């Protein structure tokens, strides 16, 4: 699990081992399930645009469709290539509050989310 934010910093990792949640970041900590006061899971969706992907797609599709369909194919290829530069990433964010006042946001896979929920009980 990747540390995204919180009182431990904005980088690092966390893992569950030996009945504890271990955080290794700027600060380190180990927490038992009873040390967790709250756990909230939510999907975070990041949208963006990759200029490199758009240029490569526009170039390749423009050449291929341009060769097959002429000028109209070139235009369609460029437009579709540019639209292919848009992307959307989904991350499962888990906000954990600890009884000692620390808090952390972790980026997790679905499996890790389920493991954290079972850990908290």
Give the DSSP per-residue string, 75-97. Answer: HHHHHHHHHTTEEEEEEEEEEEE
Name 38's Cβ contacts closer than 8 Å, sequence gap at least 6: 95, 96, 97
Hey, what domains does the chain have and what are their CATH numbers? 2-42+90-120 (2.30.29.30), 51-84 (no CATH)
Residue pLDDT, tens place only, 19-62: 999 999 999 999 999 999 999 999 989 899 999 999 999 999 99
pLDDT digits (tens, 9 = 90+) for 56-114: 999 999 999 999 999 999 999 999 999 999 999 888 999 999 999 999 999 999 999 99
Q: Compute CA distances 50 → 4, 55, 84, 87, 107, whole Å.
A: 22, 9, 9, 7, 22
Contact at 8 Å (CB) between 50 and 117? no
CB 18 within 8 A of CB 32: no
């Amino acid at each position: 699990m990747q540390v995204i934010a919180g009182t431990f910093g904005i980088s690092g990792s966390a893992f569950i081992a030996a009945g504890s949640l271990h955080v290794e970041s700027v600060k380190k900590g180990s927490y038992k399930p009873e040390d967790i006061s709250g756990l909230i899971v939510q999907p975070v969706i990041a949208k963006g645009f990759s200029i490199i992907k758009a240029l490569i797609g526009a170039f390749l599709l423009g050449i291929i469709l341009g060769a097959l369909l002429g000028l109209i194919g070139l235009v369609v290829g460029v437009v579709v290539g540019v639209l292919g530069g848009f992307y959307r990433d989904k991350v499962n964010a888990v906000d954990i509050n600890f009884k000692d006042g620390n808090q952390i946001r972790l980026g997790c896979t679905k499996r890790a989310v389920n493991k954290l929920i079972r850990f908290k009980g």
